[in-house]
Amino acid sequence: MASASPQALFLYTIAAAALLIPGPTVLAQLTPDFYTSICPQALPTIRRVVNQAINDEPRMGASLLRMHFHDCFVNGCDGSILLDDTSNFTGERTAGPNFNSVRGYDVVDKIKTELDRICRRSVVSCADILAVAARDSVSILGGPSFTYSVLLGRRDATTASLNAANSNLPAPFFSFPQLLSSFQAHGLDLTDLVALSGGHTIGLARCTTFRTRIYNDTNIQTNLAASLQRACPPTGGDNNLQPMDRTPAGFDTQYFDALLRNRGLLHSDQELFGGGSAASDALVRLYSTSPQRFAADFAAAMVKMGNMQPLTGTNGEIRSDCRKIN
């Protein structure tokens, strides 16, 4: 630092101070242009494959968004969710929140194969693929106002944790205080909770995840409960699917409109409005009338979530097959 300029010293001081901040959110050295010189075609390639997958099946955008969330909440955004179980390795695929529920593994494989062909070597991490595929999904289904810049440079884990996958993800029967503590334990706040839950503006949920709500909750609109009960019987039909808002292939503010009318599909969705938090109620009202505010807060919260405990530098590896450790 002998010949450092005052500006450099100043920035160094900020960086050093930031490293001292305690808590689960590690300030990472991720950058938006990580692949600009290593493989300039990396991001357009991911977008192309995601676009094709969504054209084939609109729900895939929702599935890819959720996969990034389930990766990040379990010991950080490190691609651990993608590892297959083998005879001597247990991954996260059979965890309660993932099993028979998380989908999109084949699309990730396809993206990785395309990237390795176009970049001529394996340089893009599986963890970064998930972050970019989530952004592209939102952007394709929501349009330009839902497009944001993704920070990159994550590396892939050589471990996974079935226990952490079972215990670190919030459950659909959670109350508002439980949802908030789950997010706070990951360094996220109330605004992040409400904005990120807006991810439920796309995609579908299985009967088994909302059955108790439609038969036993009192804060559900009568018409909605009646029609959902026809689609999801008291027993059987566990895998019957229902959309989480009126427009499951449109990234919009319909999810928040639904909450205002007691039409949340999951118990945890409805907890965000009328669940006892005035601050959460106010955000649901705000997002329902302001797509711009939803887009801005959602993007900021996605970047924050994407920054959770990434492996960088020489930690971890760049997997050549997203399902296996090298």
Residues in contact with ligand HEM by CB under 6 A are 59, 62-63, 65-66, 69, 101, 103, 170-172, 174, 179, 196-197, 199-200, 202-206, 209, 266, 268
Task: Report whether 84 belongs to an annotated binding site.
Answer: no
| Burial status of residue 173 (CB atoms within 10 A of its CB: 0-12, 13-18, 19 or more) | middle
- Rounded Cα–Cα distance for residues 275 and 175 (Å): 7
Q: Is 68 a catalytic residue?
A: no
Nearest CB to ligand HEM, comparing residues 14 and 185: 185
Residues 6+ apart with CB under 8 A from 1: 8, 9, 12
211 binds, among ligand HEM, ligand NAG, none (CB under 5 to 8 A by kind): ligand NAG
Task: Report whether 114 belongs to an annotated binding site.
Answer: no
- Residue 253, Cβ neighbours under 10 Å: how many? 24
- Rounded Cα–Cα distance for residues 295 and 195 (Å): 8
Nearest CB to ligand HEM, comparing residues 34 and 210: 210
- Rounded Cα–Cα distance for residues 149 and 132 (Å): 9
Sign of the alpha-carbon dihedral angle for 291, 294, 300, 302: negative
- Rounded Cα–Cα distance for residues 141 and 62 (Å): 9
Tokens at residue 145, please?
Answer: 């106002």
249 binds, among ligand HEM, ligand NAG, none (CB under 5 to 8 A by kind): none
Give the footprint of ligand NAG on residues 232-251 (CB under 6 A): 234
Q: Which of 216, 239, 292, 326 binds ligand NAG (CB under 6 A)?
A: 216
Nearest CB to ligand NAG, comparing residues 44 and 234: 234
Task: State the minimum distance, in angstroms, from the CB of residue 261 to ligand NAG.
Answer: 22
200 binds, among ligand NAG, ligand HEM, none (CB under 5 to 8 A by kind): ligand HEM
Catalytic residue, candidates 68, 70, 186, 267 = 70
Tokens at residue 149, please?
Answer: 């810049």
Task: Report whether 201 belongs to an annotated binding site.
Answer: yes
Task: Report whether 170 belongs to an annotated binding site.
Answer: yes
Q: Does 88 bind ligand NAG (CB under 6 A)?
A: yes
Phi, psi of 160 (to 5 degrees): -150, 165
Nearest CB to ligand NAG, comparing residues 5 and 218: 218
Tokens at residue 28, please?
Answer: 């990472």
- Rounded Cα–Cα distance for residues 242 and 318 (Å): 37
Nearest CB to ligand HEM, comparing residues 192 and 325: 192
- Rounded Cα–Cα distance for residues 273 and 292 (Å): 20
Q: Does 219 bind ligand NAG (CB under 6 A)?
A: no
Nearest CB to ligand NAG, comparing residues 86 and 223: 86
Task: Report whether 252 belongs to an annotated binding site.
Answer: yes
Q: Do the beta carbons of residue 139 and residue 146 sit within 8 Å?
A: yes
Q: How far is CA 304 from CA 145, 185, 254, 313, in A?
A: 19, 13, 24, 19
Q: Which stretch binds ligand NAG (CB under 6 A): 124-132, 181-189, 212-220, 284-292?
A: 212-220
215 binds, among ligand HEM, ligand NAG, none (CB under 5 to 8 A by kind): ligand NAG
Question: Which residues are identified as catalytic?
Answer: 70
* Chain residues in the site for ligand NAG (CB under 6 A): 86, 88, 211-212, 215-216, 234
Q: Which residues are annotated as a binding site?
A: 71, 74, 76, 78, 80, 92, 170, 200-201, 245, 247, 252
Q: Which residues are annotated as a binding site for substrate?
A: 170
